[in-house]
Structure 1
Amino acid sequence: MISQCKQAARHALQGKWLFMAGAVIVLTFITAIPELISPATYNDEESLTGLQQTMDFATIILSALLLPLSVGWLWLTLSLTRTSRISMKTLFKPFTVMFWKSIWVSILTGLFIFLWSLLLIVPGIIKTISYSFTMYILHDRPELSAMQAITESRKMINGYKTQAFLLFLSFLGWFLLGIITLGLGFLFIYPYYSVSYAQFYEEVKRKEYGGDIEYMA
């Protein structure tokens, strides 16, 4: 299944590599805004001024408000697996169709993964994989609540977690190349991995449900 997903991703990306690289730049720039406007690092011994505390709080809030953008990236990669007609608007679609839900589900999954990671790193990895279909499921079944989508993700990927992990491992060489190129390689590696994982979701959905899940256009 892994080689099939990667091959399907390369096929889907034909003629779309530059578009997806541009989407990565937009995603990276916007999500970096809170860090760019955050106060300069200060010593622990230095007391925080009221302005610095306000800026820290504002940075946290802004970071949370931008969480739908990461959901939009997953929706964009999912859209690319299904149709050659993609738009940058998809990157921002969660802001208009499920703004608060996408924030809430992102916070919930992050919290659950953090709590499981406190036990040991392995449970944290397992739960990261278990929740990895959540945003795709919300795209296909927007009527579900955050907890319902998380639960459905756990059920759907059950029996496929090893393959999901092996898919990630198959990209380690590419990730190393991205580091060697000072991050520039990730403009193309990140779309390749993301579309491969979206295709993995499609394959699991097909095997488990025969692909019979309605999804938004």
Structure 2
Amino acid sequence: MEEKTILSNSQIKSKAKEALKGNWGTAVIAFIIFNIVMYSVTYVYNINQISNYIHDPYLVRENAGFGASGIIFFIKLLLAGPMTYGITKFSMNLVRDKSHKIENIFEGFKHFSGTFIMNIVLGIYSFLWSLLLFIPFFVIVFVMVIREFSKTNMDLYSKGNDFSGWVIAIFILLIIVLTVALSMILFRYAMTYYIYIDNPDMGAMEAIKESVSMMKGNKTRLLLLYLSFILWYLLGIVTVGIAFLWITPYIKSTEAVFYDELKKSNDHNAHEAISTL
């Protein structure tokens, strides 16, 4: 039986960089346009609020409410699914050495209903999993804080400074653990858009289920792949976000190569299973 060679994470990253050679300009422009479309409404609103505050801070306070925020949220909700589809399609075409054009990022609007539903469902799943993990966390933190402030004995309170340090340390540790745990859970949905792009006749829920199946046994590997970009994220922060113009296409292209490797592995395993029948 022929075995399928699986690329390591470093090889996957190398393959992504190879695909980006000679295509950095197009990739950077595509991601800039993606961010402009997704976040320009928020930027304009914030700038307008700052300008109004400078001229009349009392007027801004009186007019502040959920109206504008609700409109912005609704617009981003309409755009998120199709635009995520589009930038994913662009990255897939890039690493597959297919025709990759900036117009690819708008192709999701041809599949608006499917991508919209997909985004809504994934958002609901993310919200519910977050609640499930973080509600017990906040209960624990609340109890610890109440216990700390309920100390009335001054001697005990003075010794409690060390305990306060432990509370902070435990708080940070729990945040890290819960963030990793939530990421591992949500990684099951990470390949949804890729699967939907390869199977345009597939329904949104079916694509999500297929992603869950594909990511079985691969979530830790994806986590390690993302963690390998930590230094790149730090570089982006140090450069006040400028480096992210190149880092983001690199990460997305790497994710696309990761998907292709999983797909090839699954197709190979399915072929081998049929061959043994």
Partner of 2:106: 92
Q: Is residue 59 of structure 1 aligned with residue 72 of structure 2?
A: yes
Partner of 1:164: 222
Q: Is the 8 A contact 1:77 1:194 kept in 2?
A: yes
CA distance in 2, matches of 1:211, 1:95: 34
Equivalences for residues 78-89 of structure 1 within 5 A: 78-89=92-103
1:211 to 1:78, Cα distance in 2 relative to 1, 3 A: farther
1:75 to 89, 92, 95: 89
SS in 1 for 2:226: helix
Cα offsets for 1:94-147 (capped at 9, x unmatched): 112x11211111121122112112222344212221100000000001111111
Partner of 2:129: 116
CA distance in 2, matches of 1:176, 1:211: 38
CA distance in 1, matches of 2:37, 2:103: 14
Aligned residues: 207
Which runs of 5 or more structure 1 residues have no equivalent in the other structure? 213-217
Q: Is the 8 A contact 1:114 1:124 kept in 2?
A: no
Partner of 1:215: none
CA distance in 1, matches of 2:68, 2:130: 29
Q: Which amino acid aligns with 2:24?
A: W
Give the stretch that moved more between structures: 24-33 or 181-190.
Answer: 24-33
TM-score w.r.t. length of structure 2: 0.69
CA distance in 2, matches of 1:167, 1:53: 39
- RMSD over aligned CA atoms reads 2.1
Shift of 1:61: 1.8
1:132 to 190, 215, 218: 190
Q: Is the 8 A contact 1:205 1:211 kept in 2?
A: no
CA distance in 1, matches of 2:259, 2:66: 42
TM-score w.r.t. length of structure 1: 0.88
Partner of 1:202: 260
Which runs of 5 or more structure 2 residues have no equivalent in the other structure? 1-7, 51-56, 134-177, 271-277
Shift of 1:6: 0.4
Structure number with larger C-alpha Rg: 2
SS in 2 for 1:144: coil
Greater helix fraction, Structure 1 or Structure 2 = 2
CA distance in 2, matches of 1:211, 1:94: 30
CA distance in 1, matches of 2:9, 2:16: 11
Q: Which amino acid aligns with 1:12?
A: A
CA distance in 1, matches of 2:19, 2:213: 27
Partner of 1:178: 236
1:143 to 201, 204, 229: 201
SS in 1 for 2:194: helix
Partner of 2:213: 155
